[in-house]
Homo-oligomer: A and B are copies of this chain.
Amino acid sequence: MLNLQILGSGAATPTLTRGVTAQYLNFNERKILIDCGEGTQLQLRKFKVKFQRIQYIFISHLHGDHYLGLFGLLSSMHLLGRKTKIHIFAPPELEEIMEVQFRLTYVKLNFEIIFHPIKLKEKTLIFEDHLLEVYAFPLKHRIPCYGYLFKEKLKERGIVKEMIEEFDLKIPEIIQLKRGNDVERENGDILNHLEFTTPPPKQQSYAFCTDTKYIESLKEIIEGVDLLYHEATFMHDMLDRAKATFHTTAQQAATLAENSNVGKLLLGHFSQRYGNTVDLENEAKAIFENTTCVEDGDVFLLK
């Protein structure tokens, strides 16, 4: 189960209608915050997300509109009694900024921060447990910036129930077959796992890509994801400005989604020059129909 809530959908500076980048992701009961611009703690309150339950925070890069809400959020977690550790994945400089800021302002949190520095040149597995894996990959922005791919762990194959009785399968045999291994019995019989099991369910996945130039080769990383969030700071008539500021146009993001066979495309991080997103969405939909320009508070659910 994947439940994504948009907390902030705007670029650069927060406004009364769009917060800066932040998203809350509940993926198989892993409670995740992605980016944390100023005001994120208030957006969490506004959209009734219980922020003490957040276990993991992933920060794309250290531009203010993507991380400046972190100190206030951690501070509020502390003041409201948090004792549970939290994991932060972010460019390494953030650890020093936090250390200096906490030290010079006499802050001693009542909970542990486990900091995972992200500095890499290619797609890398940075987290896994038995239900989820997370990959980071470099984007192309004015400063080091990373995308994150959240992917359900491959589940085991399903055993065909009728076969259990028919072949009197023992539990160790079932375990092997579900793992995709064939089984040789004492009498020499070979049980082919393909005959005894059904394929595992498709792995759900979500890719988060902001802020970045258009990168055609991203399709190798995000191929087939169910949900792709990609920045679309500008419309394509501002391609030069997009290139100069290391951002993407709606048309480019849609082209990437189309080439990568994603399930659904979410666009965000809109320049404040756009009063509404009708034209941005239409530009994208001309290339990739299943596109939504997100608003603060939007929820996207995959079951």
Contact = CB atoms under 8 A, between A and B. Distances in A.
A15 interface: yes
A25 B202 CA distance: 59
B106 A100 contact: no
B16 A105 contact: no
A68 interface: yes
A76 interface: yes
Interface in A41-84: 41-42, 45-46, 62-65, 68-69, 71-72, 75-76, 79-80
A79 B233 CA distance: 15
Given A62-B104, A64-B107, A93-B105, 4 more contacts: A38-B41, A39-B39, A96-B100, A96-B104
22 contacts: A13-B41, A13-B72, A14-B41, A15-B45, A16-B42, A38-B38, A38-B69, A38-B72, A39-B42, A62-B104, A62-B106, A64-B71, A64-B72, A64-B105, A68-B75, A93-B104, A94-B104, A96-B100, A97-B104, A100-B101, A105-B143, A106-B143
A132 interface: no
A97 B103 CA distance: 10
Nearest to A42: B14
Interface string A137-154: 000001100000000000
A12 interface: yes
Contacts of A97: 100-101, 104-105
Interface of A: 12-16, 38-39, 41-42, 45-46, 62-65, 68-69, 71-72, 75-76, 79-80, 93-94, 96-97, 100-101, 104-107, 142-143
A215 to B, nearest CB: 21
A63 B72 CA distance: 10
Q: How many copies does the complex hold?
A: 2
Contact of A13 (B38, B76, B106): B76
Contacts of A42: 14-16, 39
Nearest to A103: B93
Contacts of A71: 38, 64, 68
A68 to B, nearest CB: 5
A75 B64 contact: yes
A143 B75 CA distance: 16
A41 to B, nearest CB: 7
Contacts of A12: 76, 79
Contacts of A13: 41, 72, 75-76, 79-80
Contacts of A41: 13-14, 38
A12 B42 CA distance: 13
Nearest to A96: B104
Contacts of A101: 97, 100-101
